[in-house]
Structure 1
Amino acid sequence: MTSLRAYAAVTAAYWAFMLTDGALRMLVLLHFHGLGFSPLQLAWLFLLYEVAGVVTNLTAGWLAARYGLGATLIAGLALQIAALAALTQLDPAWTVAASVVFVMLVQGASGVAKDLAKTASKSAVKLLAPEGGLFRWVAVLTGSKNAIKGLGFFVGAALLATVGFGPALWLMATGLAAILVAVVLALPRDMSARDAKAKFTQVFSRDPRINRLAAARLFLFAARDVWFVVALPIWLAATLAQTLDPRTAFFVTGGFMAIWIIGYGGVQALAPRIVRGGTPSDALTWVAALAVIPAVLAATNAAASDATWIVMAGLLVFGVVFAINSSLHSFLILDFARAERVTMDVGFYYMANAGGRLLGTLLSGLTYQWGGLPMALAASAGLLILAAVATRTIPASA
């Protein structure tokens, strides 16, 4: 099988996974918001998902090195199907505490599934990309993935408003199962070599460039998720519900989240045309520019009585600049990684990415509960300053 066909098979599998991942997040968030869960309780629902991501990214690189990228990708798809099916067993008669624990556990399994699939997919690009084309191939995979995940946000909100929580989960599980069968039949069996002697301790990077880039990635994604995971959708749904019926508010909220992610993915795919160099200094310039946006929006939202449309427009601009930052990071980690240990370097790096999402998720519930959307946006600006500091310290060579 040619590199292009193998790349297409990996990308198709990753697309299918991320569609269900985005839909599941919106389903859970809006469903439990409708049941009266507080912002902090909603954050707890996603906390184990992010904790699982931290642990899984460390082990996924080692598993992919030992058992192959194909097996790791298939395991991620299968586990996501199991998580979707398990969530259908949620009983409305359970107590709030029991519901939170159950959903946390299922979301944890989904977090494991996502990072198995992500590590395998992104590592495959390093092995499949032609000489000199790495930035473009990484940008296409990452950008298209986020566009598909954004579509999933809308699909999740639409399914909740039309068929309801349980039937939506079964529909997604069935569709993903069909994709899994197709992937098993189509994926090349020799996509990567297996190293039976690969040791778990080898996943920790000794390259200072990768370690500093990982620190910057942690703060970068915490800065997004501190307002994106809980604060924005709950604020937007509550604000819109003052003038719209709840079902319409769900549609608009899910639609905005979808547009944000789809636009973010589209810009990621175009990043090689916007940023010609792809160096750490480029990343520093763009993250410094990004830090200004949430600071301005926090002040605007705190000062104005009705800043809904201003905040929404500002967050779309944030998405454009954030997408360029993210795409630069995705290229730099594969550029820094050595081919013989690419899965381990990528796994270590995306462990930091998951750590950032974990920090952002927890802070999203806390900041929104303490100070609303302005506090979440102010926290985002502070985290981006830390990301800029970490980026500034990336050395020129290993």
Structure 2
Amino acid sequence: MPPAAEAITHQSSDVDRPYALYVHWPFCVSKCPYCDFNSHVRETVDQEAWRGALLTDMAHEAARTGGGPLASIFFGGGTPSLMPPATIAAVIEAAGRHWDFAPDIEITMEANPNSAEAARFADAAAAGVNRVSIGLQALHDDALKFLGRAHAADEGLRAVEMAQGLFDRVSFDLIYALPGQSEADWEADLTRALAMGTGHLSLYQLTIEPGTRFETMVRKGDFIPADPDHGATLYELTRDMTSAAGIPAYEVSNHARAGQESRHNLIYWRYGDYLGIGPGAHGRVMGHATRRHKKPENWMTALSAQGHGIEEETPLPADERVTEALMMGLRLAEGVDLRALGERLGVKADVDRKAAARLQAQGLVQMDGERIIVTPEGMLLLDAILAALL
């Protein structure tokens, strides 16, 4: 484990590449039954102690990575809209001391649309947040109840409207392929969502994640997940409708008007350098992988003992970095330029060319010179395609 002031050696090709900063706030009002994120329910939170802890964890990363530039800050969770606005402001202000901000820095806060949290939007905007991502998840009360959400449908719609009046950029999430959801049901919901006029939508199929309450319910027979073929039909409908509306998929589940893509997530998917602070946060910084203690109390204990919350830090071998970069980059509609990736990482980046040719003949990938792209049809089989290519 490196000491707080030890700097990671820059690779010459990475010196001027911007960083992204992820800030994890792990607390939620309740745990949604589909969620496998690092979120926790606590009766009370010592806000002053948590503010100081986040600033300490950030200072450790800043001491090792230099002055920037910083292209994005992302407050994720958990439910970061539960953070006091003073904490948000303190994190942004401290980040500005540690790193040079890019002129168009994107500062995103994930938010739940409960009325009490939506009322905090104005304070978050005043603190420096300029983009908000709202966990709407569904547009009907019965679906929200099934998903274990704490807000009503009309609350969600009001939260989006309020956000559009306060933030330059607004996104919201919806989950589809719910049990019993027909093609007509999803078409009506997506038509309504597109009419709301946001520049970005994150549209996810319901997946039953290990360790979640939904996994237990499915195992007990409480409900039957959507058939994969039906999910594929809804996925194709989603891509067709969003593309026709001028908000096409730029990643498997993310759709945006030109220029409205999530800059923060693009740094992940393009395998840029990102710093993660807060419980359970991961980072990829100049060839090193960092992972922080997941449980909030363990993270706080580590901070007191060692000045940062890192549980594990490992250098990534070159071949592992290439694999990670391809697994991330092939999620994007733009694909991956293999030559440019290899030059950036300082190692040859390639895929199984015989497998690529076979997949191209099947219409699942495209090879354009050294750029490899998974087609829209291929995105339905992305895991199998990655296994074949890598």
Classify the TM-score, shorter chain.
under 0.3
Higher strand share: 2
Larger of the two Rg values belongs to structure: 2
TM-score (norm 1): 0.25
TM-score (norm 2): 0.25
